Amino acid sequence: MERDVAVAVWSLRGTLCYANAMHAHLFGTRWGPSGEECLKKLFVPETSAFLRQTVLPGVRGGQPWEGDVAAIDGWKRRIRLFGRFDLLQAPIQSSRLLCTTLHDGGNRDAVLQQLRTAKEAAERANDEKRQLIALAGHDLRQPIQALQLFAVSLQRQTSTTYTMRPDVNHINTSSRILEDLVNGLFDLSRIESGMVVPAIADVPLRPLLNHIHEAFAAPATSLGLRLSIVPSCLTVRSDGIVLGHILRTLVGTSLRYTQRGGIVVGCRRRKGTALLQIWDSGPGIQPRPPRETLESDSPCTLPQDMELGLVISCDLAQRLGHALEIFSLPGHGTLFQLRLPLVSQETPQPVLLWSVA
């Protein structure tokens, strides 16, 4: 039965992640402009438009869809197939995936049962991946902490020469950034598995920014960079621990790629929201050509070759309900911007303490 069903898994951008042998035989290799197989190219224009406008919004909301579709096979022939579209949960980066199953419609009940079994197997595999990520994050923390202790010990030794101090500072900075990445990966796996639910509360930004200054002022100075923290009295709605990790990861990313100049961290009030911003004078991010996609669902769309820290930060921000925006001018710098819900703060009114008649 499996040989008669074409099964494929796609990102919500429409790029191919997995295809079984039947899918490859039926559709052949179909490469899009970005060098990746595109879901949009599998269907005739009217079917593609129907999927984009009607089917995918419901599937993204958790409602599977099944019905007849008109596809184009590898020999450019128009064929009628029975298709089913399901949503799968991915353990990292593309937090959700699209599973398509196509067949000729014969023995439909048996095929649907097989598809349900395949979906359950895929979900179990995702759960196992999340558990593996959680275990890896736990095991990696110990050697990272040991590395930090050794670096601190080396820094305190009187025999450490002046020429070695920059190298030791680099070790400290790199180990701190690595620890933030591992912690972020661990937090993301726990949130995705349901073990931890983000604790949304009022979070004052002043202590958060003070912690960033304490953590990164010395590494920035050792690299010859300026780290400027603009104080803020604003309070936002978020998970303070997760938000702190996102901020540390973004500042660490700027610190790692900035060779001269500096980094500015601050917050602006904008129409009921707080814009938490990290500006750097680094090399910037080269723009990628737009991909030909069927649909894009993520509020933070990152190139697939973006570094792990930004991918984790984007996923965590999305799960907190925050938009992470990245603006960059190659050769001049990058702006990372988090849109956070602002807690309304009433202007304090003067209180009468005493009166002299």
For the chain, the domains span 2-106, 129-197, 198-357
Report pLDDT for 196. 64
Report pLDDT for 78. 87
Specify whether the CB–CB gap between 342 and 234 falls below 8 A. yes
At the top level of CATH, the class of 2-106 is alpha beta
Q: What are phi and psi of 227, to 5 degrees?
A: -115, 115
- DSSP string over 324-342: EEEEEETTTEEEEEEEEEB
**This prediction's pTM:** 0.55
Report pLDDT for 268. 92
Q: How far apart are CA 188 and CA 53, in angstroms?
A: 31
Report pLDDT for 237. 93
Specify whether the CB–CB gap between 316 and 187 falls below 8 A. yes
Place of tokens 């005493």: 354
Q: Which residues of the chain have pLDDT under 70?
A: 1-3, 29-37, 89-95, 105-112, 114-115, 126, 129-142, 155-166, 169-170, 173, 177, 181, 184-196, 286-308, 345-357
SS3 38: strand
| The pair of three-digit structure tokens given for residue 258, joined into one six-digit string | 């900035």
Count the Cβ atoms, other than its own, within 10 Å of residue 201. Answer: 12
Looking only at Cα atoms, what is the longest distance across the chain? Answer: 98
Report pLDDT for 292. 35
SS3 19: strand
SS3 354: coil
Q: How far apart are CA 248 and CA 318, in angstroms?
A: 17
Report pLDDT for 224. 86
Centroid of chain to Cα 310: 6
At the top level of CATH, the class of 198-357 is alpha beta
Do the strands 273-280 and 333-341 form a parallel or antiparallel pair, or are they unpaired? antiparallel
Specify whether the CB–CB gap between 202 and 233 falls below 8 A. no
Q: Is the dihedral of CA 105, 108, 113, 116 positive or negative?
A: positive
